[in-house]
Structure 1
Amino acid sequence: MSSSYQEFAHIYDELMNDIPYDAYVELLDLASAGVIGKKVLDIGCGTGLLSAMLAKQGAHVTGIDLSANMLEVAANRAKSLGLAIDFKEQPMQRLEVDGMYDAAIISIDSLNYVINQADVEETFRRVYKALSKGGVLLFDVHSLFKMDEIFLEGPFVFDNRRITYVWQTVPGEMEHSIYSELAFFVRQENGLYRRFDEVHTQRSFAVTEYIEMLNAAGFQIERIFADWEDEPPEEESERIFFQVRK
């Protein structure tokens, strides 16, 4: 990710309007036999949208993110809603929390921003350590089909009359990785546009590789499904979900 999310943090929510956060809440609720009263880790929490939704459902939420700017937005959101959410600035591969948690979630392909396999493995180990016996981890990642083909079909252009961006992606240096440059143009009150730029690098692994890494960390695989449907991944699936348990 880019070194500064200061500009991006303030338009992030508007860009994520099509993300079905309700579905994440429902998936975690089912996986953990309800979230009311449960201690939940929201890893890669960004601006805290999902954290807030889980807290509204009665969960005791700790949000983890590496971006101070994102966490500032998240903390302001929680305060404005009267929600007691604990936010910590940490990369997920350096996760360090007190106490034991009933559930953890890494949503919206946040894990794909962890580029090195050793760091993915360390993320799983640390989440495993933070969970109580029987605790569940739910996460999703981009499929290899999406990384190797769909992302490379760009450039992609978005325009909602207030925010415009041009997104160009090329293959990254590592296998199944991408390097993306995004130019954002945000309309100001005076009608002029302010530009800022973002650079994002993501990487994914084969389903079998994730299974090996999860098993090595001690997790038991409960189910693997794709694209919000309770169906196994297919060749052209785009988003792969994993539900695993300690």
Structure 2
Amino acid sequence: MRLDKYICQATSLTRSQAKKVISQGRVTNGTNTIRNTTYKVTTNETIFLNDKALSIRGPRYIMLNKPQGYICSTVDEQLPSVLNLLDVEKRKQLFIAGRLDADTTGLTLITDDGQWSHQITSPRKKCAKRYRVILADELTEDASIQFQQGIQLKSENQPCLPASLINISNTEVLLTISEGKYHQVKRMFAALGNHVTALHREKIGEIELDPTLQLGEWRYLTDIEVQSIA
């Protein structure tokens, strides 16, 4: 890894700040001062900044209970990014593995591990996601069968993949899908002439939202949770 990138990942310095401390002669490998920003840091090498040993932490895996009014974007737009809810360093290196609409709440996974995120977001992986859905109207008796057969969305050439629908009450259901089409859950129920009034994601793959997390709260995933995404 390039020295300037290594320093950025091991500290809170920006790339330009890292280059500056290197040029100032404040970086060594314990033996020699290194002034070349493109110097390749080897696996077994220890880099020192101001005589303090640096190290790069492993990838981060975060579970957030997303509240309404935040967007699953890495930057603020018309609404604030969910990353503002995280009290962590180097938030700009994080990204969201599976987005939610601004008015949708629930399980949001955030990481800086691109390969791990790909296992969740790639359509080929068909990672299952479970939602708790509140509806404006009662569902018809054959709704579950229609979801199993695949709902045809407006402006889509192919129907959705089979989905699992479990009735909690006349207007509350648990829906499990294995795709991530634009506004998919809302569009699926709209195709049946219904309207989603509240939407909450509870599960992604084998990872379930921690019931102790209040809206806006987060925690790091356990090793078992991380490894469940393969």
The TM-score range, normalised by the shorter chain, is under 0.3
Greater RCO (Cα-Cα under 8 Å, separation 6 or more): 2
Larger radius of gyration: 2
TM-score by length of 1: 0.26
More helix by share: 1
